[in-house]
Amino acid sequence: SITSVSLEPVLLLISVERAARWHEAVLESGVWGISVLGRHARPTASWLSTPGRPLHGQLDRVPHHRGEHTGVALLDGALATFECRTTGVHPAGDHSLVVGEVIGLEIPPRVDPALIHFRGRYGHLD
């Protein structure tokens, strides 16, 4: 999940399961990206949330580009993308709360319904 924390500076918070491979990668690199997906990106979201998917080549089937400020992978066609630099990590049960300063932002000039995940199902916000 993603939560806005502050406007000055602009900070986001994500909750990351400690057992996830992504957790270790974020802690090591200190930078990360968020791509807000539209409802038509459900297959992409399903693929990227599949446990045990191959570590190498997992983005081969997903159109993406590298962020200008961090070099992290950002998904093409996203409703918005954020590039963040980690400013704090806080233990929270089997997750970590990772706070990051937004150092790059892209918002295309279109508005589509956002893809959401709630109660184990995908849906969208109109």
Residue 105 Cα distances to 2, 18, 33, angstroms: 15, 26, 10
Alpha helices in 7-87 (DSSP H): 21-29, 42-48
Tokens representing 110 are 């279109």
With H, G, I as helix, E, B as strand and everything else as coil, classify residue 27: helix
Q: 39 φ, ψ to 5°?
A: -60, -25
- Residue-level pLDDT at 80: 95
Decide if pLDDT at 125 tops 90.
no
**pLDDT tens digits along 93-106:** 999 999 999 999 99
Q: What share of the chain has pLDDT > 90, as a percent?
A: 67
Average of per-residue pLDDT values in the chain = 92
- Residue-level pLDDT at 93: 96
Report the alpha-carbon distance of residue 6 to residue 26 in Å, rounded: 20
**pLDDT tens digits along 50-82:** 877 777 888 888 999 999 999 999 999 999 999
Decide if pLDDT at 14 tops 90.
yes
- Residue-level pLDDT at 106: 95
Mean pLDDT over 39-50 rounds to 90
Tokens representing 38 are 């539209």
- Residue-level pLDDT at 115: 93
Query: What does DSSP say about strands 114-118 and 95-106: parallel, antiparallel, or unpaired?
Result: unpaired
